[in-house]
Amino acid sequence: MTRMVKNVVASWEWVPLGKDKVGIIIPADQDHRQVHKSRFVDLLEFCDETMKVKEVIAVFGRADLTVAAGFPRTLRYVGFRVVAPENFPPTLDATTHFAMTYVV
């Protein structure tokens, strides 16, 4: 999984968020032009077909982000939706993170 994540952007990390969820840790200032789009699709397919997860959560280290700009806006176009603070996985703090979910 680490190799697949790093193939998209070298600075990205990942974390298991339960039995059928995985979190992709993305810098808050991620420039969409630095993301290998086909490798990102490959990562989502890997999560589905190999890891057998049902949900991929993009996690940003800033709670004040929105889908109006930046990489979260890009994720919205490929099917990611904002995670409401009350629905954050228990291991994530909604006061310090912004998260978007993609149901595989």
Structure confidence at residue 79 as a pLDDT band (50, 70, 90): very high
Domain boundaries, the chain: 1-103
Structure confidence at residue 30 as a pLDDT band (50, 70, 90): very high
Cα–Cα distance, 34 to 72 (Å, whole number): 14
User: Which tokens go with 104?
Assistant: 């595989």
Among residues 52, 56, 25, the alpha carbon closest in space to that of 41 is found at 56
CATH entry, 1-103, from 3.40.630.60, 3.40.50.1860, 3.30.450.90, 1.10.340.30? 3.40.630.60
Reported as a single tens digit per residue, the pLDDT across 37-74 is 999 999 999 999 999 999 999 999 988 898 988 999 99
pLDDT of 19 above 90: no
